[in-house]
C-alpha cells in the first residue's frame, strides 16, 4: 500500500532522513521506533506531503505521490494524525469532528461513520458537546484519531499516540488501534518507546540518525535483544554503532 524508497529530507543544511526504505502492506500495523531526533516525525511529515523530499520516492496504492500536497493525499486515503494531536482546544468535540469531515460530500455515509466512530470511542459520545480542551490527554488522542477516521483513510499514520499518557491510558489507545485495524484500517505508527508495541505490531522498523537500522516482524523481534540493541545503537558484541 505504501512504498518508500531512498527517502531523503531535512531542514536547511540538516539532513534528518538519509535514504530511508520502508513499506506498509494492506492490513498491517507497522511501527517505526527510535530515539529522540531519529527522524521519525520527519518521515511521516514527508510521506504526508507536509515536507518535500530532496531525494527518493513515495508510492501509495501503486502511484507516485512524493511532492503532492496533504489535502490531495488525504482525498486519496493517506491521513496523518500529527504529534501533539493538534485538536482545536476551544471548540467542542462535535466541532472538532466536523472539521475532520469537511472534505466529505457524502453526508449520509458520514452520519453512519460518525455513529461508528462514537461506538469505537464512547467517551467522545459522552463529551460530544463539551469543550475539547477539557478532555484528558488520552481522550484528546482518541478525538484526534476519530477525526482522522472521518476522513476515510485507507492508511492512517499516527505520530506518537502514547506521548504523555499514563500506561493504562496507552493500553486503551492501543486497544482502539487494534480494533480499527481489525476493522480493515492499515496503520503506520511512530513511537519513541519500544514498550508494548510487539503485541500490536505486524512489523517494526528501528530508525536512528535518519537511517533504518533494523527491520523485522513482531515474532522475530520478540526473540533476543536485537530490538533494544538497534534502538540504543549497539551491535551484538556490545560495541556502539552510529
Residues near ligand ATP, by CB under 6 A: 11, 14, 16, 34, 36-42, 192
Of 242, 118, 132, 72, residue with least CA distance to 60: 72
Annotate 109-138 with DSSP letters as a single string: HHHHHHHHHHHHSHHHHHTTTSBGGGS-HH
Residue 208 Cβ vs ligand ATP, minimum distance, rounded to whole Å: 9
Residue 38 Cβ vs ligand ATP, minimum distance, rounded to whole Å: 4
Residue 180 Cβ vs ligand ATP, minimum distance, rounded to whole Å: 23
DSSP 8-class letter at 233: T
Closer to ligand ATP at the Cβ: 42 or 140?
42
Closer to ligand ATP at the Cβ: 120 or 209?
209
Backbone φ, ψ for residue 151 (5° rounding):
-85, 5
Of 89, 90, 12, 4, residue with least CA distance to 55: 4
Does residue 146 contact residue 138 with C-beta atoms inside 8 Å? no
Closer to ligand ATP at the Cβ: 172 or 192?
192
Closer to ligand ATP at the Cβ: 42 or 141?
42
Residue 37 Cβ vs ligand ATP, minimum distance, rounded to whole Å: 4
* CB hemisphere CA count around 98 (13 angstroms): 8
Closer to ligand ATP at the Cβ: 13 or 107?
13
Residue 118 Cβ vs ligand ATP, minimum distance, rounded to whole Å: 30
Amino acid at each position: 500500500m505504501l512504498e518508500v524508497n531512498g527517502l531523503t529530507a531535512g531542514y536547511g543544511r540538516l539532513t534528518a532522513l538519509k535514504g530511508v526504505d520502508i513499506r506498509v502492506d494492506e492490513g498491517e500495523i507497522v511501527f517505526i521506533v527510535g530515539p529522540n531526533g531519529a527522524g521519525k516525525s520527519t518521515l511521516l511529515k514527508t510521506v504526508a506531503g507536509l515536507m518535500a523530499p530532496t531525494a527518493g520516492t513515495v508510492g501509495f496504492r501503486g502511484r507516485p505521490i512524493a511532492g503532492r500536497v496533504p489535502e490531495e493525499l488525504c482525498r486519496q486515503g493517506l491521513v496523518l494524525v500529527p504529534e501533539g494531536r493538534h485538536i482545536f482546544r476551544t471548540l467542542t468535540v462535535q466541532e472538532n469532528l466536523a472539521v475532520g469531515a469537511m472534505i466529505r460530500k457524502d453526508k449520509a455515509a458520514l452520519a453512519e461513520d460518525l455513529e461508528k466512530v462514537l461506538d469505537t470511542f464512547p467517551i467522545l459520545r459522552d463529551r460530544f458537546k463539551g469543550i475539547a480542551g477539557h478532555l484528558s490527554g488520552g481522550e484528546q488522542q482518541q478525538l484526534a484519531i476519530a477525526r482522522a477516521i472521518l476522513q476515510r483513510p485507507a492508511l492512517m499514520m499516527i505520530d506518537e499516540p502514547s506521548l504523555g499518557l499514563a500506561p493504562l491510558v496507552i493500553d486503551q489507545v492501543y486497544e482502539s488501534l487494534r480494533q480499527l485495524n481489525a476493522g480493515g484500517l492499515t496503520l503506520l505508527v511512530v513511537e519513541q518507546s519500544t514498550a508494548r508495541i510487539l503485541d500490536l505490531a505486524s512489523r517494526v522498523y528501528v530508525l536512528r540518525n535518519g537511517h533504518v537500522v533494523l527491520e523485522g516482524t513482531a515474532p522475530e523481534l520478540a526473540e533476543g535483544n536485537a530490538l533494544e540493541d538497534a534502538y540504543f545503537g549497539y551491535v551484538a558484541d556490545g560495541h556502539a554503532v552510529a
